[in-house]
Amino acid sequence: MSVLVSVLAFAGTILVLVGAHEIGHFVAAKLAGVRVLEFAVGFGPRIASRRWRGTVYSLRVIPVGGFVRMAGDVGAPASDEVPKEEWFVHQRPLVRAAIGLAGPFSNVVITLVVTVAVSVGFGSPAFQVLDVMPGYPAEGVLLPGDALLRVDGRPAVSEAAIAEAVAASGGAPVRVDVLRGGEPETLTVDVVYSQEERRYLLGFYHGLVAYTNRVVSVDAGSPLYAVGVRTGDRIVALDGAPVASAAAIALAMQALLPRDGVMLEILRGGEPLTYMVPTTALTIDELFAGAMFETTGVVYHRFGVLHGVGAGFAQFAAYFRMFGEVIGGVIGGSIAAGEAFRGPVGIAQMLGESVERGMLDFLFVFSLLSLSLGLMNLLPFPAFDGSRVAFALYEWVRGKPFPPEREGMIHAIGFVLLFALLILITYKDLANLLR
């Protein structure tokens, strides 16, 4: 991966996403009649700036954020030249809340627009087979990595569409159109009725991204690393049972646990190796914490304009679910914060890799970053937009403002904590990159 590609992809993405975020605040402030003193992309010393119509537009040295400084805002210098009615602090609480929400809203809109445009213009992500269920009709017919195009002639644009197509078969075999290795194939799969789930099934797991059994990174503190698993290893069997995908590994491990140990068979450069992994009192999440598997990438397919728009909205909703699952995992402890969050180095690496895989993969990552930027800023953490909205709502409910000096101090403390966290995450990203 070219370092230059990563740097350029990072700089361009941050410039667009942060710029759009701040434009949201800027436009909302202007519509509310608030004087904007400075519109900045980045933090730290100014690299370049220009004053136009009373506002300074600046580019700063640390490209990981930005801000809109408004007259009368917390921390903004007092100015007798600006009429008091144009001060941010003198606006109604709900107006201040709307200005605070405008930035995240811009990022959410960008995600929606890009996702729908990609789905209509280039295609939407096709669901891929993650693994098949032993003993079910899909076994031996569908393979991990197969990209689903149609089920009985119906576009496989969503989980609901796939389930509806199988249900409509009434138990008769269904035709499944897939992309396998980039080539289209038409397969016939029998259908079985599940008394437990009370519906017809083909017997496979699916998702938008499939993962192979090859380990692409493993943290030094993870249980797998402790027994000898290294980056590049391919896990081929658990207790003698062959596994060909990450999903198969997880399902096999789920069936084996709880127990004291599991025999792990791997291939390293073509050489077979065997390790006994202690699993006493470990969950699957804990066992595989710190390990990442190779992805087959996102497979895009055009389903037509109307289906493309629907698939774009479905993908947009899926992004929200992904974000919620990650945040829930971090709060619940099942996902390490170091795995969930990336600093500038990690984001640059991720963007660079997506560019090398192609424009559609880059737009996929771009959309996720835009939504993450918007939703993260809604969290009521000091220095985030969410905290400013919270203070405005506090005044609206209580009928009196929170003391500006205390609010400023809270935001300053939050900014310091965020900057410290950024340094820690960047250190971890550099360590992973150099390992």
Q: Is the pLDDT of residue 79 over 70?
A: no
Strand partners, 189: 174
Residue 182 main-chain phi, psi, to 5 deg: 85, -5
Q: Which single residue is written with the structure tokens 């699952």? A: 325
Identify the band that residue 78 occupies on the pLDDT scale cut at 50, 70 and 90: low
pLDDT of residue 148: 92
pLDDT of residue 175: 95
How confident is the model over 224-260, as pLDDT tens digits?
Answer: 999 999 999 999 999 988 998 898 898 888 888 888 8
How confident is the model over 270-297, as pLDDT tens digits?
Answer: 899 999 999 888 888 888 888 889 888 7
pTM: 0.65
pLDDT of residue 339: 63
The amino acid occupying position 296 is T
Q: Where in the chain is the domain with CATH 2.30.42.10?
A: 125-207, 211-295
Mean pLDDT calculated for residue range 102-110: 94
pLDDT of residue 72: 79
Mean pLDDT calculated for residue range 10-25: 88
Q: Is the pLDDT of residue 44 over 60?
A: yes
Q: Is the pLDDT of residue 267 over 90?
A: yes
Q: Is the pLDDT of residue 1 over 60?
A: no
pLDDT of residue 67: 85
CB atoms within 10 A of CB 270: 6
The amino acid occupying position 132 is V
Residue 51 main-chain phi, psi, to 5 deg: -95, 130
Q: Is the pLDDT of residue 80 over 70?
A: no
pLDDT of residue 89: 82
As a whole number of angstroms, the distance between CA 257 and CA 246 comes to 16
Mean pLDDT calculated for residue range 62-85: 75
pLDDT of residue 306: 80
Instruction: Tell whether the torsion through CA atoms of 11, 12, 17 and 20 is positive or negative.
Output: positive
Q: Is the pLDDT of residue 90 over 90?
A: no
Q: Which single residue is written with the structure tokens 């506090």? A: 394
Asked if 375 and 323 count as a contact pair (C-beta separation under 8 A), the reply is yes
Tokens coding 370: 């835009």
Asked if 26 and 37 count as a contact pair (C-beta separation under 8 A), the reply is no
pLDDT of residue 172: 93
Distance, CA of 31 to chain centre: 32
Least confident of 69-73, 238-242, 325-329: 325-329
Asked if 253 and 242 count as a contact pair (C-beta separation under 8 A), the reply is no
Percent of the chain with pLDDT over 70: 94
Mean pLDDT calculated for residue range 166-185: 91
* Mean pLDDT score across all residues of the chain: 85
CB atoms within 10 A of CB 130: 23
CATH of range 125-207; options 2.40.30.10, 3.90.1150.10, 2.30.42.10, 1.25.40.10: 2.30.42.10
Q: Encode the chain in three state secondary structure.
A: CCHHHHHHHHHHHHHHHHHHHHHHHHHHHHHCCCCEEEEEEEEEEEEEEEEECCEEEEEEEEEEEEEEEECCCCCCCCCCCCCHHHCHHHCCHHHHHHHHHHHHHHHHHHHHHHHHHHHHHCCEECCEEEEECCCCCCCCCCCCCCEEEEECCEECCCHHHHHHHHHHCCCCCEEEEEEECCEEEEEEECCEEECCCCEEECCEEEECCCEEEEEEEECCCCHHHHHCCCCCCEEEEECCEECCCHHHHHHHHHHHCCCCEEEEEEEECCEEEEEEEECCCCCHHHHCCCEEEEECCCCEECCCHHHHHHHHHHHHHHHHHHHHHHHHHHHHCCCCHHHHCCCHHHHHHHHHHHHHHCHHHHHHHHHHHHHHHHHHCCCCCCCCHHHHHHHHHHHHHHCCCCCHHHHHHHHHHHHHHHHHHHHHHHHHHHHHHHC
pLDDT of residue 434: 64
Identify the band that residue 179 occupies on the pLDDT scale cut at 50, 70 and 90: very high
pLDDT of residue 159: 82
Q: Which fold has domain 211-295?
A: Pdz3 Domain (2.30.42)
pLDDT of residue 74: 67
pLDDT of residue 433: 64
